[in-house]
Amino acid sequence: MHTSIFFRPFLKSVLALIVAPLAILPISAARAVDVNADCAAIYGDAFTPVTGQVISPSPTSPRPAKGVPFKDPAFGTCVVRATDHATEAPSGFARNDYSRRQAFNVDNTRVLVYALNGAWHL
């Protein structure tokens, strides 16, 4: 059995781990958002979340500014826009890479998104 058969995938993985951080393009400086403090006024003491299956039309309001908490008109929840494609990369579609992987860091000051072109953005 030739050891290079097993070594090549390992080497590719290590190389990917070394090169991947270089592919992360910086997003313009954003103000740190304290989501708990900023959304506390929106929720208040009497907030009750909508439960069950609800069909609600998409809001027709304009997109809010990045980093500014606002109240969702359909469900009353606090929403904070994390990206602004008009002023920073990526210029097109971007999303969290996997639904079960946390996109935000521990203090909500950074988010990791995956762009349609394969690049990662922090």
pLDDT digits (tens, 9 = 90+) for 80-104: 888 888 888 888 888 888 878 888 8
The arithmetic mean of pLDDT across residues 15-34, rounded, is 48
6 in a structural domain: no
- 47-84 pLDDT per residue, tens: 888 888 888 888 888 888 888 888 888 888 998 888 88
Other C-beta atoms lying within 10 Å of the C-beta of residue 113: 19
13 in a structural domain: no
CA distances from 108 to 28, 34, 50, 84 (A): 16, 7, 24, 17
Mean residue pLDDT of the chain comes to: 75
- Statement: residue 45 has pLDDT above 50: yes
Range of the domain at 30: 23-121
109 in a structural domain: yes
The arithmetic mean of pLDDT across residues 6-23, rounded, is 47
* Residue type, position 12, single letter: K
Sign for the CA dihedral angle at 20, 108, 105, 94 comes to negative
Q: Which residues contact 12 (CB under 8 A, 6 or more apart)?
A: none
Q: What is the pLDDT of residue 13?
A: 52
Give percent of the chain with pLDDT exceeding 90. Answer: 0
Counted domains in the chain? 1
Short-list 33, 95, 109, 36, CA closest to 64 = 33
